[in-house]
């Protein structure tokens, strides 16, 4: 089973020697970020800063900084545990394409342990302390000024709750939050995000949008907020499925939303239509600064928290960072579902260096001419994978996670006058390389073996790859110790 709350997981890490308490005073202006960046790049322990300058609240960092820790937090041995569980639900075979994808999630939602469970306010640790009006002071929370050219201090792991004003469907998303003053935070809702759509619907109706932001949530909830789910799929259903138990929820005090009862801190407020403030610059997970832009500014009317809360945050920047394990788990979890949409796929890899959305390496069991190109265009039409800038397609006998093997195929198997597809389409809001915002060029590389029907008519056909003689290889394996090597 996954851990019920953040603090129980931190205690477990400390017992195993995988959490380090930092008792020295640290400055959230640059110093914390520099410490965390060094530790996470060294695959070091989770950190608990107990004396953050300007705040009485401890700060938990690098909590999910290794795949082992993330798996432990979710009660898993590896991400393949959930992938296999999802694959099991897809039998008997569902319809292919997005219909099958949604039916698959429907099967998840029907499981008894998945739907969230409401608890009374008196049973919610996150509401042990309630602050309203002039008692609300965001300056008392340890926001991070991480990189020298950042435009201010940010909360980087606040889980944002909104609802579609038309349908009532809720969304749980992870967006950076700039602290503008003691009562105001900036909502970095990118153009492709569901919360931005909710705000647009509310503004069109001339209504305020209720918003709740939760920090230090149960690990399965935090992970679910990062998962690229379709807008009408409840992240709390997915969190319950991953955790193997129902997530406890409680009604907010001042907005008509629900939040995790076992969270550490919750901010509640109403977003006024048209209220915008300059947000950024910010050193983002791409490793580059994103520029200052106007984004919605939320006034916080109420803060609820535990009596002795712990704030959780992350540091992003040039990879590798704590984003790495989260992105890799999403890659593994969603492979069975991606195969429902695109059954041609054998396996895929999302390199962390590409921010998990700039590049996809995919293997296929090639069956007909231009099969690789068909898969490329299917990926460019698959939900958030539509933002992919580079797709490399290899044959099924290539390990997509072995970048040396992939590079060998992509460099040696490609005639770039024929096997390179260049198109234009949407790119991520944070993409700095496109010559204009939101759309740009994309490329697909066909690194599969080529068929005569594709125009490869050289004598002898496509050559065989060099490989050892199986009998000799087996002999050498048996005698290896004899060689004294």
Q: Hey, which residues are catalytic here? A: 284
* Separation of CA 443 from chain center: 23
Q: Give, as one character, the DSSP assignment of residue 316.
A: -
DSSP helix/strand/coil, 184: strand
What sign has the CA pseudo-torsion 463, 468, 472, 473?
A: negative
**Separation of alpha carbons 232 and 194, rounded Å:** 10
Long-range contacts of the stretch 88-97 (C-beta < 8 A, 24+): 90/336, 90/337, 90/340, 94/340, 96/340, 96/341, 96/343, 97/340, 97/341
Angstrom distance (rounded) from CA 59 to CA 310: 6
Distance separating alpha carbons of residues 309 and 292, to the nearest angstrom:
31
- State how far the Cα of 165 lies from the Cα of 49, in Å rounded to an integer: 39
Spell out the alpha helix ranges (H) of 307-454: 323-333, 335-341, 371-379, 403-412
| Ordered alpha helix ranges (H), 294-357 | 323-333, 335-341
Q: Count how many residues are written for the chain.
A: 485
Full DSSP string of 242-305? HHTSPPEEEE-SSSS-EEETT-SEEEEEEEPTT-EEEE--EE-TTSSEEPPEEEEEEEEEEEEE
Chain center to CA of 52: 27
């Amino acid at each position: 089973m996954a851990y019920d709350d953040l603090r129980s997981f931190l205690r477990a890490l400390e017992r195993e020697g995988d959490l380090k308490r930092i008792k020295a005073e640290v400055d959230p202006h640059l110093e914390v970020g520099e410490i965390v960046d060094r530790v996470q790049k060294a695959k070091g322990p989770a950190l608990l800063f107990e004396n953050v300058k300007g705040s009485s609240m401890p700060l938990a960092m690098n909590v999910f900084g290794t795949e082992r820790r993330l798996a432990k937090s979710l009660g898993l041995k590896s991400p393949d545990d959930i992938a296999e569980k999802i694959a099991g639900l897809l039998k008997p075979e569902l319809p292919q394409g997005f219909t099958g994808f949604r039916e698959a999630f429907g099967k998840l939602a029907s499981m008894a342990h998945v739907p969230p469970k409401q608890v009374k306010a008196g049973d919610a640790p996150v509401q042990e302390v309630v602050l309203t009006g002039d008692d609300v002071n965001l300056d008392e929370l340890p926001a991070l000024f991480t990189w020298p050219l950042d435009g201010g201090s940010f909360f980087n792991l606040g889980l944002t709750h909104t609802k579609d004003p038309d349908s009532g469907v809720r969304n749980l998303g992870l967006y950076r939050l700039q602290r503008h003053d003691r009562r105001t935070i900036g909502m970095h809702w990118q153009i492709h995000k569901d919360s931005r759509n909710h705000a647009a619907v509310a503004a069109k109706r001339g209504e305020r949008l209720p918003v709740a932001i939760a920090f230090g949530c149960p690990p399965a909830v935090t992970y679910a907020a990062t998962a690229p789910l379709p807008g009408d799929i409840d992240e709390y259903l997915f969190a319950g499925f991953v955790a193997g138990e129902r997530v406890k929820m409680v009604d907010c005090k001042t907005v008509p939303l629900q939040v995790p009862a076992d969270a550490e801190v919750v901010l509640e407020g109403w977003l006024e239509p048209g209220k915008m403030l300059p947000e950024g610059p910010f050193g983002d997970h791409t490793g580059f600064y994103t520029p200052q832009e106007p984004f919605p500014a939320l006034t916080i009317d109420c803060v609820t928290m535990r009596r002795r809360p712990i704030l959780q945050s992350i540091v992003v920047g040039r990879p590798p960072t704590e984003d790495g394990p989260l992105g890799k788990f999403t890659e593994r979890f969603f492979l069975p579902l991606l195969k429902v949409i695109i059954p041609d796929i054998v396996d895929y890899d999302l390199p962390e260096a590409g921010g998990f959305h700039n590049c996809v390496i995919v293997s296929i069991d090639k069956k007909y001419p231009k099969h690789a190109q068909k898969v490329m265009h299917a990926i460019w039409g698959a939900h958030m994978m539509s933002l992919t800038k580079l797709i490399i397609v290899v044959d099924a006998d290539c390990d997509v996670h072995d970048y040396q093997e992939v590079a060998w195929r992509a460099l040696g198997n490609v005639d770039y006058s024929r096997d390179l597809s260049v198109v234009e389409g949407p790119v991520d809001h944070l993409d700095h390389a496109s010559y204009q915002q939101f759309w740009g060029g994309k490329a697909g590389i066909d690194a599969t073996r080529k068929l005569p029907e594709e125009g490869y008519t050289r004598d002898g056909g496509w050559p065989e790859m060099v490989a050892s003689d199986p009998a000799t290889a087996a002999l050498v394996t048996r005698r290896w110790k004899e060689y004294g090597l």
